[in-house]
């Protein structure tokens, strides 16, 4: 056809040019050189193309593309695109309907009014519509009494399912329901096809048949649809819906038949495709109870689903889809128990996919296989639990195979590959039978009419597929489309044949386009592809490479079969829609379908009733036990070919279709992005080829593609007739048409029928070219005559115009001369007046300038005099200040010299006094020695009394510990009471100790003073004094014991009081804490509100002033200027009140200002609320600090707190309650765990780290330093001052030494700028320092409590050691005897002390306490141990022996 058109191509003709992107683009012929044509494209470029590659353009919108003058690919494509742009989505190609998916709702096309329009109308009478196809089918059934079928095809996403729904809607509208009064009964049933039906209010039987069919769609889509590369909801099975009618042509029943379910997708899916929707709906949408009972996990953890990375779909909620599926199951009559059973099977398939196998022996697989690990074992248990079968039996069925022989049964272990195939076979069998069971349930719910004789079938099946990588699934799908295309070709050819016979023309020589050779290549035995594939699957050892080689050898001479050059295992088939290359890598695995007797038997005995039903009937391929009587052994697993089963189902479908009269709807997807108003030419052209539309065009082109009624032919080509008068004579139309065709010299292949003129391919183009040339020649002649007449008229007009212009020009020149003379006289007078005015103005201007210069000069002189006077006064003031300062400096230097002289003189006198005192001290040396001896004895007595008191305290603590253990089983309130009681007791003990120590100190001071006075008297009385002091020491000891007894009595009284006040104290503390928290929160809110109020007032004041200024400026521009005394400070001259924000609301600008203020207020209020929430989050973190821990040795709590305070700029605030709340929270945590060293060390590390960060970050500003000096911050000497040098040593100095000495600050933290802190920050720092000292004191006191009871026993060696020492005292103590004895051994008390110290050191290390803190702590503990040991030895002189000394030395070492 293209070659015939090419013969008629000339310059100026519009043509279609092939384009790799847009398929075809339009252009205009510029030149023709031989067989090369130069074409100018619409984009502005020019290309050279061969004539036979061009197609003529027809700018017409045809509802039936058969009526196109030029029936070719670009013409069909252009016609569809034009109609799609006008939202005309339906187009005919003969009696074939092409439906382009609009990807948007067009409700006006599908309402009942539209259905009524097409009722009773013939095809083509109205615009193309899917209702017209449905009406044609319905009319044919009612008139011819034959069954009809409507075949809806297209690729995924083309709208096949929606088209099938609209067909069923129309049939329901036309047919109504059996038993209804009229056809309109069906209208009410489908008045709202989107409404849902409740099974509790409307029974299944009360709904119409077509509604039941539509309601089953969600269920079938969930179990039969999946995501593919091109569509997110692609049907992976064929569906043939038979809508049955009774004798009155009313809908009486329906049945759904499913074909060609893609079983291989269950166990094998490629990314980014997905498995069937129901798997993902179950994993995401099941309730927690169902997930627990079915042991479900996320979809990504199931092997069958994890093969693809896609688990969710855009715009699809799996939970909602799961609910819709459950609702659809209820609608079709599936009860709750059966629903649970269905999802049990689905969950069981998922669990089976997680079962994997490994060989028992790594080197060989003859010994069979076992489960690969614990995960596979758990998956097998889950599958057995869900399917309600025995776990061991299921494992045996998967890993072994039983063969029945005459001698008996033989159990054969399976290798990993065979076991995996067995598992996949079981999963596919389960899903396939479940799907068939669901279809059976749906059909039972819909109801069939066994008496129905006619039906209208709607076939919804997947379209032709061709991807970059095509496998077994595409092979089967394309086989089905080849079958349907053959059926389609036969129908189209039959339609063409009927057209020719109706017009009584000769058509015997027209060839029929057939694809039987492709079908024979695939199906024919024994050399077809399916037969060769089944033969290869019979042998387990066959590989895909061997299968491909076998195909190459058997089919290499076939014209439709080819071998690609880039692959050794692929083959190419020339389908009707184009060449498709298939990869054979997985052909063998996907074609195998094993039906295993053990599987059927196992599932038939399942505890799930539904499984027992669907596996009760014997399956084809399963060998019964009674059939094993022959001597040949038979396996319990028989191979079944999926390809062969697919072919059988396809043949059944074709037989069903051959019994009906077909009607075709081809659905087209306009673009791959699923968006409206986007038409991709290449994509649509590919679908037209795959859908067979262009095949129908080729069939039409094989006959007479151009056909026109005689009237239309004469309207278009009547000007080619020689005798034009015959055009208007009735009855001469056919003769005129025949004469035109004969005289134009066309080849005698055209024919004229009864009503139409039939032209062969290219003849219409030839007629158009002749008509174009005839019209062009006539147009040139007409243009020549018209242009000559036009030029003559133009010349006459120009001549008349020239004469008129000359006449008017002379008059104009005369008038101009008179005007010039008048103007000259007027100019002279005007110049005289102007010069006078200019002179007057120059004089006035000179006068004003002189006056201004005089005023400026006089003002300058006055200002100079004032400036001189000011300078003289300033000089006098400076001289007075300078003289005053010189006098003061002289006075200060004189005073300093006097003080220096006085200090030197007094120092000289003091040195003399010192020399005298030194001489006197030497004389009193003996007295001082005696005094020291007495003081030592007094100290020994005090230590002995202290040890006795501590022994009593230890006994008291022991009794309290026993009481505590006995009361451990009481409630939490009693535990808190006991803690409060112990705290009170410890406080009383401390008060008693402090009182005793104070009394002892007072007495010591009195004794020392009396000894000093007596030493000055005389040396002889010293002995008497000593005796008196010893007596006084005994008396002091007696008094201390009495005081201890009194304190014990007071302690008992306090315990009684504590027991009475415990309950009240707890209640008051609880109420107090709640009140404090509320007060703090309220105070913080009040503070924030006050600040906010102040800011808002300031903003309002500024806005008022700004608006007043703007209004004043606008008023100045509109009104005359006012005097300065008319307005003052915002008050008007009339005494009105000043402007306020409320008074500014009259204009739109004021309203905009108010809205801005309100928006700013709301934004700040939201920021305040956000700040409160962040503060509460930080406080909760501090409250649960023990759960945070450390990161790389750094305390997380300290870092988070510091970063949060720094981020919120809390250090720079003048007022904030956040620091107090943080300190209260930390204090509460520490006070609750004062006896827990682990908690104390954790808080010590965090608080010390926070203190260290504050020390390095905060710097003192002027205001901060003054406020700190006012309040005395930093004046005390605590642990922070003692470790200040350590902090400076750790930090990296970034300031000069002079700056450090001046400011006392340490270097900052890298990456963090130092902050000018305010008073609350420094107060927080001081509180934190005191808190660190407090925690440090708690730790030190706890350790002293633990080791003090043991120190008293550490000064006396064990008995055996002392005996050895005593024996050595009787003889000579030599180094040899000491070495032989071996020295003293370490006792239990020393070991206990070491254990306590080791435990504390480990606690320090676990909580990352700084090293120098640990060293300082242990230095103090060791000093305490030394002092306690020394005091104990002074009090117990009998222990001052060599053996005890060696024992103590060993313990200290």
Nearest alpha-carbon partner for 1243 in 1309, 1190, 1176, 1296: 1190
**Residue 1352 annotated in active site:** no
Strands 238-245, 251-259: pairing is antiparallel
**Residue 235 annotated in active site:** yes
**Residue 157 annotated in active site:** yes
Give the chain's end-to-end CA distance (angstroms, integer).
Answer: 114
**Residue 1117 annotated in active site:** no
Angstrom distance (rounded) from CA 1126 to CA 876: 44
Nearest alpha-carbon partner for 1199 in 1275, 1257, 1125, 1118: 1257
Residue pair 1054/984 in contact by the 8 Å Cβ criterion: yes
Q: What is the DSSP letter of 177?
A: B
Residue pair 11/29 in contact by the 8 Å Cβ criterion: yes
Nearest alpha-carbon partner for 1407 in 1099, 1146, 1150, 1193: 1193
Cβ count within 10 A of residue 1154: 16
Q: What are phi and psi of 633, to 5 degrees?
A: -70, 145
**Region of 830 on the Ramachandran plot (φ > 0 left; ψ -120 to 50 alpha; else beta):** alpha
Angstrom distance (rounded) from CA 719 to CA 729: 15
Catalytic residue among 465, 473, 503, 523: 465
- CB neighbours of 413 closer than 8 A, spacing ≥ 6? 367, 368, 369, 399, 400
Give the full edge-to-edge strand order of the sheet including 578-583: 561-562, 570-575, 578-583
Nearest alpha-carbon partner for 471 in 542, 553, 569: 569
**Residue 156 annotated in active site:** yes
Cβ count within 10 A of residue 1236: 16
Count of CA atoms in the C-beta half-sphere (13 A) of 1142:
1
- 595 forms bridges with which residues in the sheet? 638
Nearest alpha-carbon partner for 87 in 99, 78, 69: 99
Residue pair 58/75 in contact by the 8 Å Cβ criterion: yes
Catalytic residue among 136, 147, 225, 234: 234
**Residue 975 annotated in active site:** no
Find the length of the chain.
1453
Burial class (CB in 10 A: 0-12, 13-18, 19+), 1378: middle
**Residue 264 annotated in active site:** no
Cis peptide before 272 (omega within 30 of 0): yes
Burial class (CB in 10 A: 0-12, 13-18, 19+), 192: exposed
Structure-block tokens of residue 1181: 């973190």
The interaxial angle of helices 318-331 and 336-353, nearest 10 deg, is 130
Structure-block tokens of residue 900: 């220096």
Beta strands in 158-224 (DSSP E): none
Angstrom distance (rounded) from CA 762 to CA 739: 19
Angstrom distance (rounded) from CA 502 to CA 506: 11
Catalytic residue among 27, 176, 463, 1274: 463
Nearest alpha-carbon partner for 1174 in 1197, 1209, 1204: 1204
Catalytic residue among 91, 156, 1431, 1444: 156
Q: What is the DSSP letter of 562?
A: E
Residue pair 462/238 in contact by the 8 Å Cβ criterion: yes
Residue pair 222/279 in contact by the 8 Å Cβ criterion: no
Angstrom distance (rounded) from CA 521 to CA 469: 21
Angstrom distance (rounded) from CA 611 to CA 429: 12
Catalytic residue among 91, 147, 235, 641: 235
Residue pair 591/641 in contact by the 8 Å Cβ criterion: yes
Q: What is the DSSP letter of 1020?
A: G
**Residue 1080 annotated in active site:** no
Residue pair 369/413 in contact by the 8 Å Cβ criterion: yes
Catalytic residue among 27, 157, 253, 285: 157
Catalytic residue among 161, 372, 393, 635: 161
Active site residues: 156-157, 161, 231, 234-235, 463, 465
């Amino acid at each position: 056809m293209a070659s015939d058109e090419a013969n008629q191509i000339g310059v100026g003709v519009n043509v279609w040019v092939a384009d790799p992107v847009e398929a075809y683009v339009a252009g205009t012929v510029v030149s023709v050189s031989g067989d090369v044509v130069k074409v100018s494209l619409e984009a502005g470029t020019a290309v050279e193309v061969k004539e036979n590659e061009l197609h003529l353009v027809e700018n017409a919108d045809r509802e039936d593309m058969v009526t196109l003058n030029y029936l070719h690919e670009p013409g069909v494509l252009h016609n569809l695109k034009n109609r799609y742009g006008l939202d005309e989505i339906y187009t005919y190609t003969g009696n074939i309907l092409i439906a382009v998916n609009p990807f948007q709702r067009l409700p006006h096309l599908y309402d009942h009014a539209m259905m009524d329009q097409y009722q009773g109308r013939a095809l083509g009478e109205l615009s193309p519509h899917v209702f017209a196809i449905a009406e044609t089918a319905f009319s044919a059934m009612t008139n011819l009494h034959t069954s009809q079928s409507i075949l809806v095809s297209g690729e995924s996403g083309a709208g096949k399912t929606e088209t099938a729904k609209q067909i069923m809607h129309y049939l329901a509208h036309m047919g109504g329901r059996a038993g209804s009064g009229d056809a309109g009964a069906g209208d009410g049933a489908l008045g709202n096809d989107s409404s849902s039906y409740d099974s509790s209010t409307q029974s299944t039987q009360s709904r119409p048949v077509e509604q039941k069919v539509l309601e089953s769609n969600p269920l079938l889509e969930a179990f039969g649809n999946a995501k593919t590369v091109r569509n997110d909801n692609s049907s992976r099975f064929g569906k043939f819906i038979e809508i049955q009618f009774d004798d009155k042509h009313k809908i009486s029943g329906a049945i759904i038949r499913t074909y060609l379910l893609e079983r291989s997708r269950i166990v094998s899916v490629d990314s980014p495709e997905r498995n069937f929707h129901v798997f993902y709906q179950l994993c995401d949408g099941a309730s927690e109870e169902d997930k627990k009972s079915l042991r479900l996990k996320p979809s990504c953890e199931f092997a069958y689903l994890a093969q693809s990375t896609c688990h969710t779909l855009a715009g699809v909620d799996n939970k909602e889809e799961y609910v819709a599926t459950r609702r659809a199951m209820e609608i079709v009559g599936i009860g709750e128990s059966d629903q649970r059973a269905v999802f049990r099977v689905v969950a069981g398939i998922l669990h089976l996919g997680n079962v994997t196998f490994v060989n028992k022996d790594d080197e060989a697989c003859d010994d069979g296989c076992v489960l690969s690990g614990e995960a596979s074992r758990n998956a097998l248990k889950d599958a057995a639990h869900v399917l309600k079968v025995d776990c061991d039996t299921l494992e045996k069925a998967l890993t072994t195979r039983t063969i029945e022989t005459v001698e008996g049964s033989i159990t054969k272990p399976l290798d990993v590959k065979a076991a995996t195939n067995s598992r996949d076979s079981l999963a596919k069998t389960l899903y396939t039978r479940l799907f068939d069971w669901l279809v059976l349930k749906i059909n039972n719910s819909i109801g069939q009419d066994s008496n129905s004789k006619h039906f209208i079938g709607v076939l919804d099946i997947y379209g032709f597929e061709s991807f970059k990588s095509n496998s077994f699934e595409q092979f089967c799908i394309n086989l089905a489309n080849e079958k349907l295309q053959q059926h389609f070709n036969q129908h189209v050819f039959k339609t063409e044949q009927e057209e020719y016979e109706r017009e009584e023309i000769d058509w015997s020589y027209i060839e029929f386009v057939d694809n039987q050779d492709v079908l024979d290549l695939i199906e024919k035995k024994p050399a077809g592809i399916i037969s060769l594939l089944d033969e290869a699957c019979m042998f387990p050892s066959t590989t895909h490479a061997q299968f491909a080689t076998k195909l190459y050898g058997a089919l290499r001479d076939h014209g439709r079969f080819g071998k690609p050059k880039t692959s050794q295992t692929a083959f190419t088939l020339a389908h009707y829609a184009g060449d498709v290359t298939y990869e054979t890598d997985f052909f063998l695995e996907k074609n195998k379908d094993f039906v295993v007797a053990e599987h059927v038997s196992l599932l038939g005995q399942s505890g799930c009733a539904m499984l027992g039903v669907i596996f009760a009937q014997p399956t084809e391929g399963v060998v019964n036990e009674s059939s094993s009587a022959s001597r040949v052994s038979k396996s319990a697993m028989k191979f079944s070919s999926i390809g062969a089963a697919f072919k059988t189902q396809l043949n059944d479908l074709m037989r069903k279709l051959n019994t009906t009269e077909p009607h075709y709807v081809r659905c087209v997807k306009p673009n791959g992005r699923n968006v409206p108003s986007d038409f991709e030419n290449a994509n649509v052209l590919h679908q037209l080829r795959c859908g067979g539309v262009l095949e129908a065009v080729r069939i039409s082109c094989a006959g007479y593609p151009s056909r026109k009624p005689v009237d239309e032919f004469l309207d278009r080509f009547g000007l080619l007739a020689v005798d034009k008068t015959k055009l208007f004579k009735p009855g001469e139309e056919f003769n005129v048409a025949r004469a035109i065709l004969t005289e134009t010299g066309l080849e005698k292949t055209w024919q004229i029928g009864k009503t139409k003129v039939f032209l062969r391919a290219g003849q219409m183009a030839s007629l158009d070219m002749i008509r174009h040339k005839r019209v062009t020649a006539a147009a040139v002649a007409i243009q020549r005559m018209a242009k000559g007449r036009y030029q003559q008229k133009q010349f006459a007009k120009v001549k008349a115009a020239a004469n008129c212009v000359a006449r008017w020009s002379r008059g104009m020149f005369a008038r101009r001369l008179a005007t010039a003379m008048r103007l000259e006289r007027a100019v002279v007078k005007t110049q005289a007046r102007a010069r006078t005015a200019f002179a007057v103005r120059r004089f006035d201007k000179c006068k004003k300038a002189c006056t201004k210069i005089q005023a400026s000069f006089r003002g300058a002189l006055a200002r100079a005099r004032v400036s001189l006077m000011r300078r003289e006064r300033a000089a006098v003031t400076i001289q007075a200040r300078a003289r005053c300062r010189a006098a003061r400096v002289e006075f200060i230097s004189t005073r300093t010299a006097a003080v220096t002289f006085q200090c030197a003189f007094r120092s000289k006198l003091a040195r003399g006094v010192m020399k005298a005192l030194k001489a006197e001290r030497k004389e009193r040396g003996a007295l001082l020695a005696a005094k020291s001896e007495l003081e030592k004895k007094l100290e020994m007595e005090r230590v002995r009394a202290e040890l006795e008191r501590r022994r009593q305290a230890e006994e008291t603590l022991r009794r309290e510990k026993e009481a505590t253990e006995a009361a451990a089983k009481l409630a939490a309130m009693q535990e808190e009471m006991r803690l409060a009681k112990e705290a009170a007791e410890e406080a009383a003990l401390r008060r008693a100790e402090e009182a005793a120590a104070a009394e002892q100190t007072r007495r010591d001071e009195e004794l020392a003073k009396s000894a000093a006075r007596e030493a000055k008297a005389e040396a002889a009385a010293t002995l008497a004094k000593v005796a008196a002091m010893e007596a006084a020491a005994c008396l002091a000891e007696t008094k201390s014991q009495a005081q201890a007894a009194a304190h014990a009595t007071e302690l008992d009284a306090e315990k009684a009081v504590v027991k009475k006040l415990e309950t009240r104290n707890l209640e008051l503390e609880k109420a107090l804490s709640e009140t404090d928290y509320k007060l703090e929160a309220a105070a913080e809110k009040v503070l924030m509100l006050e600040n906010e109020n102040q800011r808002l007032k300031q903003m309002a004041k500024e806005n008022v002033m700004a608006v007043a200024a703007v209004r004043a400026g606008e008023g100045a521009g509109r009104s005359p200027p006012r005097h300065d005394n008319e307005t003052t400070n915002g008050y008007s001259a009339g005494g009105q009140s000043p402007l306020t924000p409320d008074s500014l609301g009259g204009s739109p600008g004021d309203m905009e200002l108010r809205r801005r203020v309100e928006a700013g207020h709301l934004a700040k209020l939201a920021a305040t609320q956000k700040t409160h929430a962040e503060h509460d989050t930080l406080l909760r973190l501090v409250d649960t600090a023990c759960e945070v821990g450390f990161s790389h040795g750094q305390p997380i709590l300290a870092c988070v707190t510091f970063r949060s305070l720094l981020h919120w700029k809390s250090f720079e605030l003048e007022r904030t309650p956040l620091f107090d709340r943080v300190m209260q929270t930390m204090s509460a945590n520490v006070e609750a765990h004062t006896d827990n060293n682990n908690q104390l060390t954790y808080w010590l590390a965090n608080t010390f780290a926070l203190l260290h960060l504050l020390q390095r970050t905060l710097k003192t500003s002027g205001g901060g330093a003054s406020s700190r000096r006012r309040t005395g911050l930093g004046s005390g000497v605590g642990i922070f001052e003692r470790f200040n040098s350590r902090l400076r040593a750790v930090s990296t100095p970034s300031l000069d030494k002079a700056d450090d000495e001046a400011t006392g600050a340490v270097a900052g933290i890298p990456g963090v700028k130092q902050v000018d802190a305010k008073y609350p920050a420094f107060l927080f720092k001081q509180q934190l320092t005191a808190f660190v000292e407090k925690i440090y004191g708690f730790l030190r006191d706890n350790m002293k409590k633990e080791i003090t009871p043991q120190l008293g026993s550490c000064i006396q060696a064990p008995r055996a050691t002392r005996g050895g020492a005593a024996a050595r005292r009787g003889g000579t103590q030599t180094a040899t005897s000491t070495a032989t004895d071996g020295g003293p051994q370490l006792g239990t008390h020393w070991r206990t002390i070491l254990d306590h110290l080791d435990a504390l050191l480990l606690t320090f290390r676990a909580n990352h306490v700084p090293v120098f803190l640990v060293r300082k702590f242990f230095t103090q503990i060791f000093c305490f141990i030394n002092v306690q040991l020394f005091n104990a030895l002074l009090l117990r002189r009998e222990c001052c022996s060599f053996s005890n000394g060696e024992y103590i030395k060993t313990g200290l070492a």
